[in-house]
Every structure is written in C-alpha cells, then in structure tokens.
A and B are shown apart, each in its own frame.
Chain A
Amino acid sequence: MSRGQRDFLIWVATFLVMLAICIPGLWVVLSAFRPNGEILTKPAVWIPRDLSFDNFRAIFGLGDNVVGIPVGSYFWNSAVISVTSTVVAVTIGMSGGYAFARYRFPGKSSAFLWLMLSRTVPGIALSLPLFILWSWTGLIDTKLGVIIVYTAINVPFTIWLTEGFFRQVPRDLSEAAQIDGCTPWQAFWKVEFPLAKSGIASAAIFAFLTSWNEYALASQLTRSTDSKTLPVGLMDFTAQFTIDWAGMSAMAVIIIIPALILTFLVQKHLIAGLTFGGVKG
C-alpha cells in the first residue's frame, strides 16, 4: 500500500468517526430551527426546507404558539449553580491539590486514593440517599442543595488535576520568592499560581461543564422554577403523550452555546493544560 493510499484511508476513517460523533449534534442543531412536522417526517428529511427561529421565539414566549417554559429562570438557576459550584470547587480543589503536592501528612496517599475512588460511584446511585437527606435538611429544591452536590462531585477531580500541576512547579521557586521578600501567600499568588494557571483553568472548565450539563441528580433534587436547571428544564417539553422535539432541540442549543463560548475562551489554557506543558526549567 502506497503512502498516498494509506493517508487516504486514514482520512476516510477519520471522517466516518467524526460523522458518527457529529451527526447527533448536528441533528439537534438542525432540529432547533425546524418545525416539529419536518422533524418527525418519515423517511427523514435531511436537507431542511423550512428553517426559522420560531422554536426559539416560542420558548421565550414571543411567537404565536407560546410554549410557556420559564427558560429565563432555568438559565439563571443553571448559571448561578454552575458558577458558584465551580468557584467553590476550584478554590477548595486548588488548595487541596497544592497541599497534596507540597506537604507530607499522615494518611496522604490513602486520602488521595479515596478521593479518586469517590469518582467511581455513579452519581445517580447517590440520588435516593441524597434525596432523603436533602428533604430532611430542607435543601431539596434549592439552588444551594444542588450547588453542594456539584461541588462535592467536582472537588476530587480538581484536586487530582491541580495536584499534578503544582507538583510540576519546583519547590525552589516559592522559596526563592520568599527570599526575594514575599510572604508564603504572596509567593503562591505571584509565582506558583501563575505557573499552574493552565491546570487550574482546565479544572475550572471541566467543573463548569460538569455542573452545567448534569441531569441525573438535578432531576431528582429540583422541581420548581426556583432551582430547576436547563437540562432538567428540557423535560418540560414532554407531555403525557407528546414530545415537542423542536422546542427541546432549541432549548438544547441554548444550553450548548454558553458552554461552547466558554470553552473557546479558555481553549488556549485548556490545550496547554491537557498536554501538561507546565513549567520548563
């Protein structure tokens, strides 16, 4: 097989895999701009005939057929919950990662292992106990309740990711900074934090996306417009006998866009973070 042929085959294979990955996404985006009738036609209509923003108008209650879903509230809930839990998780996780990277303490390695093991429990398995606990404590159907759960989910991963980055920052640097006149606190912010920045940014974006997209637990713990998040809100489009696929798709697009924008904004850090291109001596 010549080199050209092989390259060609690789391209074809890559294309097919990408197609498989992208088509559902594309289909959702496409459906967001089509009326329900066209979406449900059999055989499927691949080339859209009738594109419009009607579905979005409907969601925001501007069109002729008002769907009447409090999308604004859901968006606000999602934003508050995701941002807060991300900030808290990154703050705690970064401190934890730093401690694991820098200090020796009894039980360190088993503590680290347990943190990682907590990730092996599927979140949904915790939903019943959580539901009961949260009902007792009155946290059910509150943003705070969801924030606490998401923070707990995100902390171990943040610790794990930032620990690797802090470990790459030589201890000498903080010491040099302290000799140069910094307090340990200043040394951290002026030297160690900037050097681990890409790892922290990666951890933050992962935490945010996890919170933003989480459905299973949120669907158990929220029920009113006070706390329902966007993914949970998707279910509002299902009625007893019908599903408003068009509205749902439009809503899905609304969910995707902020995540997409955010990811693009920090992608430079994300790439640096994922390739662990931390510090060079």
Chain B
Amino acid sequence: MAEVSLRKVIKRYGQMEVVHGIDLEIAHNEFVVLVGPSGCGKSTTLRMIAGLEEISDGEIAIGGKVVNRLPPRQRNISMVFQNYALYPHMTVRENLGFSLKIAGKAREEIDRAADEAAQILGLTPYMDRTPGELSGGQRQRVAMGRAIVRHPDVFLFDEPLSNLDAKLRSQMRIEIKKLHQTVATTVVYVTHDQVEAMTLADRIVIMRDGHIVQTGTPLDVFERPVNTFVATFIGSPAMNLVDGMAEGGAIRLSDNVRVPLPHGFAALAEGQRVTFGFRADNLMPLGHGLAETGEVATLELPVSLAEPLGAETLLLAEIAGKEVQAKMMHPRPVSPGEVLKFQLALDYCHLFDAESGVRLERKRDHGTD
C-alpha cells in the first residue's frame, strides 16, 4: 500500500518561498496529475516527493511513513525525467537492470526483470544499443522501463512526453495509461499540458504560483472550475470570459447583448459585477448546434473569423468588442462580418466574481430541481 501524503509542505530557496504549504492526499494506485503553468512549482513538488529536493517545512509520507529525512534511494520510488536521464554509457539492458544491480540482485534475476520490462514496452530488439542509438520515443520507453523494473511504490513522472512530437505524444499517453492499468501503482505525473492531464488523471491537481488551486476528477475541474484561472486553463479551446453586470434579471454583457440570468443565480444583487464564462461547445449558431434541452439564450453576434476543422467549424464572434469562440456543427461557409443568430446553453454557463475571479455557485431556488 503506497498512499502519498503532503502536509503543509513548504519549499524555500533562500529567502524566496516557491511552494506555499501544500496539502495533498494521494490514494493507493491513484493516478494524480499535477498541472499548472510554467514555474508554478510542479517539478519542485515532485522532486520533494522523490527526495531530490529537501522540504523546508511540513511533512511528506509515503505508505504512511514520514520520509522527510530519507534519501531518494530509501523511498522506493521511480522517476521518469523530462529528458529521460538515461545512462549514456550503458546499453538499454544495463540501463534497465541498473537499479537491481545496485540492489545486489543475482544476474539471472536482473536479466529476467529487464527482459520482462522490455517485453511490456516493446524494447526487446534494442537491448544492446546505447541510448544514443535510439529515437526519442524509444528513449522514452527505456526511461519508463527503468522505472518499472523496480516495482516501486510510487511512480513519478516529470513532463515525460514534452520532448516528443504530437503524434508520438498521444501514442505514449495511451501507453502510459495502459501501463498504469497493467502495473497498478500510485502515480504522480507532472505536466503543463491540460490535455495530458485530462486524459490520464484519476484526479487533477491544478497549481498556480506555489499553491494548489483546485483538486478534482477531470470532469469536476472541467465542469466546475473554482475560479477563472482554472476555467481558462482546463479545456480546449479555453473558456470564453466576458465581463458583465447583473441588471434586471439578466446579465448585461454590452449595450446590446444581454443574457438571461441562468438558473440558480436569481439571488444575484442588482448591479453586481460578474465574469460570465462559457465554452465554445455551448455557443452555436441556430440550426448548427446539437439538440440542446434546457435553458437557451439567443444572441445575435458578428463573426470575425471562421476556422473550418472538418466536422465542425470554430467561429470567432464578438461580444462587447471581445472575441469569443463558438462552434458550428454541420458547418456551412461563413464569411467574415456576417451576423449570425447564436444559441447559448445557459445550463453550462459559469459565473465568477468580477473582482476575485472566484466561482459563484448556483443556488437551488425552488427546492426541487
């Protein structure tokens, strides 16, 4: 059993604090993805779990045992580095077997484990090559193989796919997911790619400036972002955000664009300033959307750009001088400047406080709903 607990973990470099008291409980066999913009402290957090970085304050426990003072080798973890960190002077076989050799295992056992890992990862034909003679994807696999031969309690990944091209990346993403299903182990995975985070994670941890902003399942954070930062960070294309004001049972986005208050926001004070958020998937031209049930608002908006993607077209429309993205299913040609009637699915809209960016929750006005 290897659950990982971070309790009030702080990291300082000299005077500068870069991780500000993180609390995180990771369950046994859970796949947790740390995601956030560059410099937010993801790698630092991961390296503290690995023991490569001392923690300045707080407590880290693996499998219920506090490991604050243990060096990396005593934590029974494996790590896959961004640039793989394969030993250039060793063959693939030696790379795979290195940890077992250090542990003083018998030669046959090392070979068996290396062969098994190579089998799982399709590395068998390359066993006698050195890392310099492998492609990027193959090196990536060796790095993963080196991590799995030890049967660690916890796998740590630091942006393992960021050096691969788009196609290989999605392929390796699937392999990592499968790997997690084959060798059930706790995984902490760092990335700044929200697609990777959404597809891989059991639970996503969104970080910003050394704080955890939100923790939840991929659907949680997609459907209920706690603030505008998460709202724009998770999901592609990013959520549209338009500033508005509550006014007479509606939200006024501009002089001529008003959206009825979505269900559950009746309590909004008159004149309260909010940020109105919705995703492109929920703003579609009339007759070019999916059949939506529920509350729908109709807006007339000028289109400035159309981006045909085949099955759908991405439209750039304008609200109050601000560009918002919309989607058009069963597309037809759209010329720039054309004014289209759009339907906005209010059930999927979000309201955030204009000042703090914090999510405003829907209230159940009528008890039953």
- Whether the Cβ atoms of A175 and B88 lie closer than 8 Å is no
CB distance from B357 to the nearest CB of A (A): 37
- Whether the Cβ atoms of B52 and A178 lie closer than 8 Å is yes
Bound-state Cα–Cα, A186 to B101, Å: 12
Determine chain A's interface SS by DSSP, over half rule.
helix
- Whether the Cβ atoms of B85 and A170 lie closer than 8 Å is yes
- A79 close to B (CB within 8 Å): no
CB distance from B141 to the nearest CB of A (A): 15
Chain B residues, Cβ within 8 Å of A173:
85, 87-88
Q: Assuming A186-B102, A280-B132, is B72 touching A178 (CB within 8 A)?
A: yes
CB distance from B76 to the nearest CB of A (A): 9
- A23 close to B (CB within 8 Å): no
- Whether the Cβ atoms of B88 and A180 lie closer than 8 Å is no
Bound-state Cα–Cα, A170 to B77, Å: 21
- B327 close to A (CB within 8 Å): no
- B103 close to A (CB within 8 Å): yes
- A37 close to B (CB within 8 Å): no
Bound-state Cα–Cα, A182 to B102, Å: 7
Q: Assuming A178-B72, A180-B150, is B99 touching A172 (CB within 8 A)?
A: no
CB distance from B79 to the nearest CB of A (A): 5
Chain A residues, Cβ within 8 Å of B222:
none
Instruction: Select one of A170, A180, A190 contacting B146, CB under 8 A.
Output: A180
- B89 close to A (CB within 8 Å): yes
A191's nearest neighbour on chain B, judged by CB, is B87
Chain B residues, Cβ within 8 Å of A48:
none
- Whether the Cβ atoms of A281 and B79 lie closer than 8 Å is no
- B83 close to A (CB within 8 Å): yes
Q: Which of A254-281 contact B (CB under 8 A)?
A: 279-281
- Whether the Cβ atoms of A175 and B52 lie closer than 8 Å is yes
- Whether the Cβ atoms of B73 and A179 lie closer than 8 Å is yes
- A181 close to B (CB within 8 Å): yes
- B71 close to A (CB within 8 Å): yes
- B78 close to A (CB within 8 Å): yes
Chain A residues, Cβ within 8 Å of B103:
181
- A118 close to B (CB within 8 Å): no
Mark each residue of chain A from 43 to 60: 1 if its CB lies under 8 Å from any CB of chain B, else 0.
000000000000000000
Instruction: Select one of A170, A178, A191 contacting B71, CB under 8 A.
Output: A178
- A148 close to B (CB within 8 Å): no
B102's nearest neighbour on chain A, judged by CB, is A181
Chain B residues, Cβ within 8 Å of A186:
102
Mark each residue of chain A from 181 to 194: 1 if its CB lies under 8 Å from any CB of chain B, else 0.
11100100011001
Instruction: Select one of B72, B89, B146 contacting A175, CB under 8 A.
Output: B72
Chain B residues, Cβ within 8 Å of A194:
89
Bound-state Cα–Cα, A191 to B79, Å: 17
B99's nearest neighbour on chain A, judged by CB, is A180
- B265 close to A (CB within 8 Å): no
- B19 close to A (CB within 8 Å): no
CB distance from B135 to the nearest CB of A (A): 12
Q: Assuming A177-B98, A279-B88, is B73 touching A182 (CB within 8 A)?
A: yes
- B81 close to A (CB within 8 Å): yes
Chain B residues, Cβ within 8 Å of A175:
50, 52, 72, 79, 81, 85
Interface centre among B50, B72, B98, B103 (most CB of A within 10 A): B72
- A195 close to B (CB within 8 Å): yes
CB distance from A200 to the nearest CB of B (A): 14
B146's nearest neighbour on chain A, judged by CB, is A180
Bound-state Cα–Cα, A191 to B95, Å: 11
CB distance from B284 to the nearest CB of A (A): 47
- Whether the Cβ atoms of B98 and A180 lie closer than 8 Å is yes
B80's nearest neighbour on chain A, judged by CB, is A176
- Whether the Cβ atoms of A280 and B88 lie closer than 8 Å is yes
Bound-state Cα–Cα, A176 to B72, Å: 9
Mark each residue of chain A from 231 to 268: 1 if its CB lies under 8 Å from any CB of chain B, else 0.
00000000000000000000000000000000000000
A175's nearest neighbour on chain B, judged by CB, is B52
Chain A residues, Cβ within 8 Å of B72:
175, 178-179
Instruction: Select one of A172, A181, A190 contacting B85, CB under 8 A.
Output: A172
B residues within 8 Å of A by Cβ?
Answer: 50, 52, 71-73, 77-79, 81, 83, 85-89, 98-99, 102-103, 131-132, 146, 150
Q: What are 19 A-B interface contacts by the 8 Å CB criterion? A: A173-B87, A175-B50, A175-B52, A176-B79, A177-B87, A178-B52, A178-B73, A179-B50, A179-B52, A180-B98, A181-B103, A182-B102, A191-B89, A194-B89, A279-B88, A280-B132, A281-B88, A281-B131, A281-B132
